[in-house]
Chains A and B, each alone.
Chain A
Amino acid sequence: MDRRYTLLAILVVLLAAGLLIIPNKGEKKEIKPDKLLLAINDQARFLSTDAITERIIGGDPTLQLIDVRPAKQFNTYALPNAVNIPLDSILSPSWTELLHQPGKDKVFYSNGDIESDAAWQVCTRNGIPGVFVMKGGLNHWYNTIIKGAEPSNTASGTDLDLYSFRQSARQYFTGSGDQETAQSGNDASTQKPAKVSVERKPAEKSSGGGC
C-alpha cells in the first residue's frame, strides 16, 4: 500500500481522536435565560388585531398565521390561510420546517393570548426567529373587527379612521359592512340596506407648472 495513503489515514484518525479530547461545548439550541427574559419583557412580540387584519386583507406573503387551538376549534372557525398547530404539538418535528421558514412572520393566535404566548415562549426559547403573538387573540379580533363599536361623535380623527378601517375589514370577512347583518347571518328580516357613503375628493388644484 502507498505509504502516503497510510500516513493520511493515520492523520485523519488522530484528528478525529482529538475531537474526543476537546471539551464538549453545550450543544443546546436553547437561548440563554437572560436573553429570554429580555425577549419576554419586550412587548414588540404583540401584534394588534388591526395590524394582522390589514396584512390578511393585503395578502401579505410574509405573514404566516398559526392557530394553536385544538383542531376541533380550528375546524369550526379560523382566520384565512392559518395553519393549525395545537399547542401540545408545537415541538413536533413535522412543524420544524414551517416554523423555521426564513423571511416569514410566524404569528400565533388562540382564543385569548395565553396559549399563543406560551407557544411564543417555547419557540423563542428554542431559538426560532420571527415569532409573534396576536394580542388579545380571536376574542379580541371578533370584538374589534366583527363587533367593533361605533365611536362617539367627539372621537378623534384617528379613532374614526380606525372605525372606518374596521368596517371595511368586517365587509371583507363577513361580506357585509353592517354589524347587525354580520352577526345575524343572512336573516332577511334583520337586513338593512347598507349605507353607501360617498367620499368626495376635493377638486384637484392645477399645479403651477409641470412638464
Chain B
Amino acid sequence: MVAPLIPMGVIPESWNNVFAVILGFGFGFALESAGFSSSRKIIGTFFGYDFVVLKVFFTAAITAMIGLLYLSYIGWLDFSLLYIHPTFLASAIIGGIVMGIGFSMGGYCPGTSFCGIAIGKIDAMIFMVGMAIGVLIFSEAFPLLEKLYNSGNLGGKLVSDSLGMSKSLFAFLLTVVAVGMFFGATWVEKKVRKVEY
C-alpha cells in the first residue's frame, strides 16, 4: 500500500468529502487550540507583539515537508502523484496583497474567522459578512478580472526546481531559516511592549 491513497485507488474517490470534513474539524480544533480565534493574535504578527501565527504555520509546513520526504524515501508515498497546485504568479501577488490588507484590517483569515464564530465572537461574524461581500463583488466582477485571474500560469512548480536544487537541500535550508525565524521572532516579542489580551 503506497500513498497517496485516493489517487492510488486504495480508497475510493467518493471518500474525498468525508476526509475533507474530518480534516476540517481537525484544522478548526488546531486553530482554536493555538488561540487563533482571537483577532488580536493575527494582528500581533503585524505589530510585532505575538508571532504565534508565524510559528504555527511554519511548523506545520516544515513538519509536513520533512514527513513527506521521509515517507517518499521509504517508499510509502509516490511523490509524483501528489497534486501540486499550479502557480499563477500575477494573481498570487495581487491576491496576496489584498488578503494581507484584509488580514491586518480585520484580524482574521477565513479559517480563523469561522473559529471565532464558533465560540461566539462578534468581530468574527462581522468579518465573515465582509468576506461574503468581497466574494460577491469578486464573482460579479469576474468577467473583468478573468484575464488577470488566469494569467502567468507556471503549472505545478516547486521552489526547489526553480532554484535548481534538490528537494532535500531546499527542505534543510527552509527548516534552518524557519527555526532561525522562530528564535528571531521570540527575541522581537521580548523587545516589543507586551500586550495583554
Q: Which of A16, A25, A102 contacts B73 (CB 8 A)?
A: A25
Given contacts A19-B66, A29-B80, A93-B86, contact A24 B166 (CB under 8 A): yes
Given contacts A19-B171, A93-B155, contact A25 B72 (CB under 8 A): yes
Interface residue tally for chain A (C-beta within 8 Å): 21
Q: Mark each residue of chain A from 5 to 24: 1 if its CB lies under 8 Å from any CB of chain B, else 0.
A: 00001001101111110101
Interface residue tally for chain B (C-beta within 8 Å): 30
Within 8 A of A (CB), among B130-180: 153-157, 166-169, 171-172, 174-176, 179
Chain B residues with CB below 8 A from A199, complex form: none
Chain A residues with CB below 8 A from B72, complex form: 25
Chain B residues with CB below 8 A from A20, complex form: 168-169, 172
- The reply to whether B179 and A9 form a contact with Cβ atoms under 8 Å apart is yes
- The reply to whether B176 and A13 form a contact with Cβ atoms under 8 Å apart is yes
Task: Give complex CA distance A99, B23 in Å.
Answer: 28
Given contacts A19-B168, A22-B73, A93-B154, contact A12 B175 (CB under 8 A): yes
Confirm or deny: B125 has a beta carbon within 8 angstroms of a beta carbon on chain A: no
Chain A residues with CB below 8 A from B182, complex form: 9
Nearest residue (CB) in B for A2 is B186
Chain B residues with CB below 8 A from A94, complex form: 153, 155
Confirm or deny: A27 has a beta carbon within 8 angstroms of a beta carbon on chain B: yes
- The reply to whether A15 and B155 form a contact with Cβ atoms under 8 Å apart is no
Confirm or deny: B62 has a beta carbon within 8 angstroms of a beta carbon on chain A: yes
- The reply to whether B186 and A27 form a contact with Cβ atoms under 8 Å apart is no
Q: Which of B62, B80, B153 contacts A12 (CB 8 A)?
A: B62
Chain A residues with CB below 8 A from B157, complex form: 93
Confirm or deny: B57 has a beta carbon within 8 angstroms of a beta carbon on chain A: no
Task: Give complex CA distance A14, B169 in Å.
Answer: 13
Q: Which of B13, B153, B156, B172 contacts A16 (CB 8 A)?
A: B172
Task: Give complex CA distance A8, B154 in Å.
Answer: 36
Chain B residues with CB below 8 A from A12, complex form: 59, 62-63, 66, 175, 179
Confirm or deny: B47 has a beta carbon within 8 angstroms of a beta carbon on chain A: no
Task: Give complex CA distance A93, B150 in Å.
Answer: 13
Task: Give complex CA distance A98, B171 in Å.
Answer: 30
- The reply to whether B179 and A15 form a contact with Cβ atoms under 8 Å apart is no
- The reply to whether B73 and A127 form a contact with Cβ atoms under 8 Å apart is no
Confirm or deny: A48 has a beta carbon within 8 angstroms of a beta carbon on chain B: no
Task: Give complex CA distance A102, B16 in Å.
Answer: 14
Known A9-B183, A20-B169; 9 more pairs at CB < 8 Å = A12-B66, A13-B179, A16-B171, A17-B172, A19-B66, A25-B73, A93-B86, A102-B13, A127-B80
Q: List 11 A-B contacts (CB under 8 A).
A: A1-B183, A12-B63, A12-B179, A16-B62, A16-B66, A16-B172, A16-B174, A16-B175, A16-B176, A93-B154, A96-B155
